[in-house]
Amino acid sequence: MSAVLALRPADECRFDLVSLGEVMLRLDPGEGRIETTRSFTAWEGGGEYNVARGLKRCFGLRTAIVTALADNAVGRLIDDLIYQGGVERAHLGWIPDDGVGREVRNGLNFTERGFGVRGAVGVSDRGHTAASQMRPGDVGWEQIFGRDGARWLHCGGIFAALSETTADVALEAMEAARRHGTIVSYDLNYRPSLWKSIGGRARAAEVNRRLVEHVDVLLGNEEDFSAALGFEIEGVDENLLHLDLDAYARLLEQVLAAYPRLAVVATTLREVRSATVNDWSAVCRTRDGFHVGPRYESLEILDRVGGGDSFASGLFYGLLHGWDPERSIAYGVAHGALAMTTPGDTSMATVAEVERLVGGGSARVQR
């Protein structure tokens, strides 16, 4: 039994965490701009996948992905990148390629890191993707949660927004996880562009409210709780330069009160001084109280994309070990901070680096 969660024993499960979500090919122009570059660096990435990868590569846990890819050279490239990240495939649906992508394709995500007064920019190209066409019945959840065993299922609002069917797949996964005593986490991750053509904020709130009823650990930021669940936060500066901890404490208390199954609600706090200088922290609320993580002021950012996912993997690492909320959130904040010092969506940090930062270590050269 953890301090806040009732976890399945590790020795009864093949996986510590299984993520359900789309894995895209991220195309990164480095220090340049998407519209003027002549070369891109290729990475893999996806909100749900990034959490599984961080738990595997940084923290050494046994993680897996449930997803689908179009069976062509781009899909095989994404698959090869997943191999390099060490994440297993609990289910990878290979969808036959039609030759030009009229019926099925793989998602692309063009992402600028930003610098100074120029913010990060993301341009998604993910219509008709294999993952968006996943439907209930495609995945053998009884194999994953029953015969193999998984201690934790993670999904999010990005996957739920991909199509009219993916939210039903997420619900199917959550219900199967519940039957087998698997902890369920969900990152609201509201993206206006994904909901724009399928009902906007009203539809996002409708879908997410239905899913959050089945969730133990909920993540989101101030926009997520407002747009994706309908909770308003007072006292937060529109430009996110001054964040009121009391306002966040009230918000998270309201969310916990509205969803009796929830055990933990957490949010990162990012005060944006510029694209490359942020103040960075996080808070969470459990049934026992409000917990504030360490604060890194004037944190220098190389690539902010994926920082929240790396926070999640650090937080989950602590909770999976039965640690108290304060220690768990400290690992999350430190891992997110380190992940934003390297390029790409995914973490290149080591657990030793996380522990050193949690312990108050500096950035002095290591020889």
Q: What is the pLDDT of residues 84-119, one digit of tens each?
A: 999 999 999 999 999 999 999 999 999 999 999 999
3-class DSSP assignment, residue 167: helix
**What's residue 193's pLDDT?**
87
How far, in Å, CA of 363 to CA of 23, rounded?
A: 32
Nearest to 306 by CA among 189, 166, 228: 189
| pLDDT at 133 > cutoff 70 | yes
pLDDT at 362: 60
| Distance separating the N- and C-terminal Cα atoms of the chain | 40
Q: What is the DSSP string of 56-123?
A: HHTT---EEEEEEEEESHHHHHHHHHHHHHT-EEEEEEEEEP-SSSSS-B--EEEEE--BTTB--EEE
How far apart (Å, rounded) are the C-alpha atoms in residues 91 and 71?
Answer: 14
Asked if 229 and 212 count as a contact pair (C-beta separation under 8 A), the reply is yes
With tokens 């997420």, the residue in question is 170
Closest among 293, 264, 299 to 281, alpha carbons compared? 293
- pLDDT class of 236 with cuts at 50, 70, 90: low
What percent of the chain is predicted at pLDDT more than 90? 88
- Res 197: pLDDT: 85
Q: Is pLDDT at 367 greater than 90 in this prediction?
A: no
What is the side-by-side strand order in the sheet with 24-28?
A: 41-45, 24-28, 108-112, 121-125
Residue 304 near residue 121, CB atoms below 8 Å: no
Kindly state the average pLDDT of the residues 263-276: 96
CA–CA gap between residue 255 and residue 164 (Å, rounded): 26
pLDDT band at residue 238 under the 50/70/90 scheme: low
pLDDT band at 366 (very low <50, low <70, confident <90, very high): very low
Assess whether pLDDT exceeds 80 at residue 2. no
69 close to 97: Cβ distance less than 8 angstroms: no
Mean pLDDT of the chain, nearest integer? 93
Residue-wise pLDDT for 140-178, tens only, equals 999 999 999 999 999 999 999 999 999 999 999 999 999
155 secondary structure, DSSP code: E
